[in-house]
C-alpha cells in the first residue's frame, strides 16, 4: 500500500549548487590557497543558503565563490590569475 506522506524516497530533482565552499589558508608570503570543502545551495525563498561541507577549516574561514569563476580561472588563466583572451589566441 502506498502512503502519500512517505518521505523515504526523495523524487525531487537534484538541486544545483550556487557557490563552491573553500577553506583558504595563507602561506608565508600571504598568498591564499583555496581547498574545496563543499558547496552552498540557495533556499527556495531566496533568503538564505545551506552550506554542505566535507571538512571544517581550523581557522574558521569559509569562502564562497561562484563555481564558474574558479573553473574559468583554472582553465584559461595564467599563474598570475589573469585570464587570457581565447579569441585572440586562436588567430
Please name the residues in contact with 79: beta carbons below 8 A apart, sequence gap of 6 or more.
none
Q: How far apart are CA 72 and CA 76, in angstroms?
A: 6
Per-residue pLDDT at 16: 84
- Choose among 65, 82, 64, 63: nearest CA to 74: 82
pLDDT tens digit sequence for 25-53: 999 999 999 999 999 999 999 999 999 99
Higher-pLDDT residue of 29, 80: 29
- pTM score: 0.59
Question: Per-residue DSSP letters for 7-63?
Answer: -SS--SPPPPPSEEEEEEEE-TTS-EEEEEEEEEEE-TTSS-EEEEES---TT--EE
SS3 83: strand
Per-residue pLDDT at 91: 40
Amino acid at each position: 500500500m502506498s502512503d502519500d506522506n512517505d518521505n523515504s524516497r526523495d523524487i525531487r530533482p537534484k538541486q544545483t549548487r550556487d557557490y563552491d565552499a573553500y577553506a583558504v589558508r595563507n602561506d608565508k608570503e600571504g598568498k591564499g590557497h583555496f581547498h574545496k570543502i563543499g558547496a552552498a545551495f540557495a533556499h527556495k525563498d531566496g533568503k538564505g543558503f545551506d552550506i554542505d561541507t566535507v571538512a571544517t577549516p581550523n581557522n574558521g574561514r569559509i569562502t564562497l565563490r561562484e563555481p564558474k569563476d574558479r573553473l574559468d580561472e583554472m582553465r584559461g588563466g595564467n599563474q598570475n590569475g589573469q585570464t587570457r583572451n581565447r579569441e585572440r589566441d586562436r588567430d
